[in-house]
Amino acid sequence: MAKIFGTDGVRGVANSELTCELVIKLVREAAFVLKDKFKNKKIIILRDTRISSEMFEHAVAAGVCSSGMNALILGIMPTPAASFLVKKMQAAAAVVISASHNPFEFNGIKFFDGDGYKLNDETERQIEENVNEPKNSNLPVGGELGKVFYEDAAIESYTEHLAQKFTEDLCNLKVAVDCANGAASVCARSLFRKLGIEYELLFDSPDGTNINRNCGSTNLNALAQRVVDGGFDLGVAFDGDADRCLAVDEKGRILDGDHIMAACGLDLFKSGKLMKNSIVGTPMSNLGFVNFLEKSGIRFVETKIGDKHISKKILENGYNFGGEQSGHMIFNDVSSTGDGLLTAILFINTLIKNNFKASEVFEMFIKFPQFIKNITVKKEDDFFENSKIKEVINQSEKILGGSGRVFVRKSGTEPMVRIMVQSGEKDLFEEVRRLYEQPWN
């Protein structure tokens, strides 16, 4: 059976790997699967700012209507808005058209069920099976076909929902906001105005091709420079669909997801609101951060990479907070999915409540030296069966011993393999780093 779903939905180069024909089939089969569980004939559709997203918006609507369900098109909105609006609008599911942090030529399809959660592995497998071998031969005809509707006011409902999470009465912070020329561009101004925060928007002029280009959470250089030059107290950056948030302190230093989790998690812990005194993370989290948690009396619970796996671990084990170094955060008491805008609000809350400067968060722990080697691949098997690569990885693990870790994984969102190395022993770390500077072929 052809594998369709990756770490976060279905993704590929638009009109090449991800085609309108595939999207129609994929959405139709998803609709058949989900409408049996959620007794509603409506599916909402959101998209990001990519040039291909409008094209796929029509394909998604076609897939929905061909299943006999109605399509409600909401336009450009952040991915996490789907989790909130699918429940508010009592829809059977939400479909988001976005490739998140990827370059503009990529696009993707993400699904949320009627409860506001991303699909579990079992549901994705069922949809994949049905796409590969369709079982619904008697498609609706005539008056049984679905209809297309449009809604323009949903974005205001979402930003109002977020603004209510800002609990501090007084905010003297001056914040620079990088919208990545993505979905945050349509709502960040309204949101930060509601919060009463002094702010400046950057990269909020999408043109269809500039999403994530030298900006956003994958490239913080411009934001860091603006924070320092403009005398800002903090910079926050989102990715293309605004489900991630990273930050920059007043000195221009990057605050990744581990830093944000450290500050927000410690605040929850001290307030008695961190369930089971635990934070859920992934193997990508820095060991310096993990050690900081343990010394603070907080347990680090490791799960698979991907915010849906963090959400699953939280739900199944009674936790309420977790995240990834890349900026996905799950504040489960407030939202059932990663939400970059919500993360920014709650992080700012934490700074004000504890009278922290952003630089104090940066200095909460000392990061272990860490690097990530991204290697573009055509076939995953070619990489993992390469004897030279195996030798380098084995040699790395032997050098580090118990002082660090080597973590190898296939990216679920891009055609590459990622190798992450970190160690508390600087000399050993540098010895291993040199191994990865050599040619792979």
pLDDT per position as a tens digit, 148-158: 999 989 999 99
- Predicted local distance difference test score (pLDDT) of residue 441: 53
Structure tokens at 402: 């118990």
Among 66, 83, 100, 396, the active-site one is 100
- 251 φ, ψ (degrees, to nearest 5): -95, 0
Task: Render 174-206 in DSSP notation, one character per residue.
Answer: EEEEE-TTSGGGGTHHHHHHHHT-EEEEES---
The CATH fold assigned to 10-152 is: Alpha-D-Glucose-1,6-Bisphosphate; Chain A, domain 3 (3.40.120)
pLDDT per position as a tens digit, 268-311: 999 999 999 999 999 989 999 999 999 999 999 999 988 889 99
- Predicted local distance difference test score (pLDDT) of residue 2: 67
- Predicted local distance difference test score (pLDDT) of residue 415: 72
More confident residue, 253 or 390: 253
Residue 254's DSSP bridge partners are 248
User: Region 324-330: what's the mean pLDDT?
Assistant: 95
More confident residue, 81 or 6: 81
* pLDDT band at 375; cut points 50, 70, 90: confident
pLDDT per position as a tens digit, 188-210: 999 999 998 999 999 999 999 99
Q: Is the dihedral of CA 283, 280, 343, 117 positive or negative?
A: positive
For the chain, the domains span: 10-152, 157-362, 370-435
pLDDT per position as a tens digit, 85-123: 999 999 999 999 999 999 999 999 999 999 999 998 899
Q: How far is CA 322 from the centre of its chain?
A: 13
Asked whether the predicted pLDDT for residue 395 surpasses 70, the reply is yes
CATH fold match for the domains 10-152 and 157-362 = yes
Structure tokens at 4: 């369709």
- Predicted local distance difference test score (pLDDT) of residue 1: 52
Distance CA 60, CA 141 (A): 18
CA dihedral 224, 225, 228, 232 (to 10 degrees): -60
Distance CA 95, CA 108 (A): 10
Helix residue spans in 304-412 (DSSP H): 307-317, 340-353, 358-362, 380-384, 387-400
Report how far apart, in Å, the C-alpha atoms of 237 and of each of 4, 77, 240, 302 are: 30, 16, 10, 25
Q: What crossing angle do the helices spanning 257-270 and 340-353 adopt, rounded to 10°?
A: 50
Domain 370-435 has CATH 3.30.420.40: no
100 classed as catalytic: yes
User: Region 336-344: what's the mean pLDDT?
Assistant: 96
Looking at the structure, give the CATH architecture of the domain made up of residues 157-362.
Answer: 3-Layer(aba) Sandwich (3.40)
Q: Is 435 helix (H, G, I), strand (E, B) or coil?
A: helix
